[in-house]
Amino acid sequence: MRKCDVLIVGTGCSGLYCALNLPRDKKIIMITKAKVEESDSYLAQGGICVQHDENDFEPFMEDTLKAGHYENTRESVEIMIGHSRDTINDLLEYGVRFCRDKNGELKYTREGGHGKHRILHHKDITGEEITSTLYARVKELANVEIMEYTTMVDIIARDGEAGVDIRSKRFPEGTLAAKASAKEFLQHKTGECFGAVIRKEDGSFDTIYADCTVLATGGVGGLYRYSTNFRHLTGDGVALALRHGIATKDVDYVQIHPTTFYSENIEDRSFLISESVRGEGAKLYNKNMERFVNELIPRDKLTAAIREQMAKDGTEHVWEDMRTIPLDELVAHFPNILEYCKDHGFDATKECIPIVPAQHYFMGGVKVDKNSQTSMDRLYAVGETACNGVHGKNRLASNSLLESLVFAKQAANDLLKYEPLDMDEDFDGMETKVKMQTDKDGQVVVTKVCTFLTPDYSKYDDIEKWNEENHKLVLDEINRRN
């Protein structure tokens, strides 16, 4: 059993930035399922948005709302844009290197859906540059301990019972929790969180108690056959929210990327074939090598057309032809893509490559307020795990790194409002022993010694089954709302 002030589950950009923004006298434990470098934050290619100048607030807002089909939470978007410049300044101070022009000024680029140049980038590895820098700064902190290959299996909720499935419980008015709306959930705050049950690399279980817990567990791509995400990102934060009756939002809003490299190996993460390849003139073909679609229609429509064609042809992919792009331009613009294809057996300068749509991003998640607090006290959610409504129905390119960082800082600031847990008052699952000591004046002093009872780990004995149930819970919820 361990105890800390703040437990952060996940070491992507949101988890790391949250840790950096907490006071240095807080004892922080961060856990991650894999190595720190194995998070989607390291994969981000294009860049990170920032309000370009004082006249860019409304245009940035409009682009974000338009991409999100106007289903975004305006207040959240305002917070994201309003804090964007400060966030970039923080990153620069930590040592992040963004591309600059010949005068040394920050160089802004533009992507689909943006009416203006407002994206900062570091080559085509922006995520790696940002996240590795944040990681380097966190490693310098004496108050932060990082545990790799350590998985959150469950949260410890108010009654000390981990893994209580509240979906079969009823609220006082009689509503079945499983049927309650998000609003009803919020009216019935679902208790308090006191940390998490973890599974260590050697397979043993342990408990980390914490005054506050932050879920920064990333997206849901690992639940899909084809996804650009790391395979170990399986929506664990959302699954536990569903098990414990914590409010979720827009869980059916999953972004699919139409063109990723097709691999027969189910273990492989899908590699993005950037939209700009099609922008430069690449064409899509069916099994007879005939064009079947306008390649520049919006992502969702193109995905539907590719899937329809695959079903018609009875194939697992369609073909993308990059030979339509002048060779010198192809080589200069897309060296990484060409290299990846070559490593995987295709010379894209001479032949077509197999393409399939893949899950890419999760707009929905654990419902949070503007301070990243969930409907459970002492429990926060940040990054792709959380849904604060910034993205609405569809994420605008390069908004997710920014959103992850801004709202991780909101969480770090807000969670300080909680008093440290009073171990005597707050814990039912705790054994209290009375101990008598004599002080220096010979007076007898009565001290309470608290011993935590170990949660019942037997419910996780069949860990494969527990995980499968979690995966099913999330997928059912995504499909139920679709």
Ligand X SMILES: Cc1cc2nc3c(=O)[nH]c(=O)nc-3n(C[C@H](O)[C@H](O)[C@H](O)COP(=O)(O)OP(=O)(O)OC[C@H]3O[C@@H](n4cnc5c(N)ncnc54)[C@H](O)[C@@H]3O)c2cc1C
**Buried residues in 211-236 as b, exposed as e (16+ CB within 10 A):** bbbbbbbbbbbbbbebbbbbbbbbbb
Report, in Å, the least distance between residue 397 CB and ligand X.
7
Report, in Å, the least distance between residue 345 CB and ligand X.
21
Report, in Å, the least distance between residue 172 CB and ligand X.
32
Kindly list the residues in this chain that would bind ligand X in the complex (CB under 6 A).
9-15, 31-34, 39-41, 43-48, 126-127, 151-152, 216-218, 228-229, 232-233, 236, 272, 361, 383-385, 398-401, 404
Active site residue 85: no
Q: Can you say whether the dihedral through the CA atoms of 111, 112, 117, 118 is positive or negative?
A: negative
Neighbours of 316 (CB within 10 A): 12
The number of CA neighbours under 13 Å toward the Cβ of 438 is 3
Burial class (CB in 10 A: 0-12, 13-18, 19+), 419: exposed
Q: Which is nearer to ligand X, 247 or 366 (CB)?
A: 366
Report, in Å, the least distance between residue 478 CB and ligand X.
17
- DSSP-H helix ranges across 246-375: 275-279, 299-313, 327-333, 335-343
* Cα 327 from chain centre: 37
Contact 74, 65 (CB under 8 A): yes
Q: What is the DSSP letter of 26?
A: S
Q: Which is nearer to ligand X, 5 or 129 (CB)?
A: 129
Contact 236, 217 (CB under 8 A): yes
Distance between CA 72 and CA 120 in Å, rounded?
23
Q: Which is nearer to ligand X, 323 or 471 (CB)?
A: 471
* Cα 328 from chain centre: 37
Q: Which is nearer to ligand X, 59 or 112 (CB)?
A: 112
Catalytic residue among 158, 299, 378, 395: 299
Report, in Å, the least distance between residue 257 CB and ligand X.
8
Q: Which is nearer to ligand X, 37 or 184 (CB)?
A: 37
DSSP 425-473: HH-SSEEEEEEEEE-TTS-EEEEEEEEEPPP-GGGGSSHHHHHHHHHHH
Report, in Å, the least distance between residue 284 CB and ligand X.
20
Q: Which is nearer to ligand X, 136 or 176 (CB)?
A: 136
Catalytic positions are 299
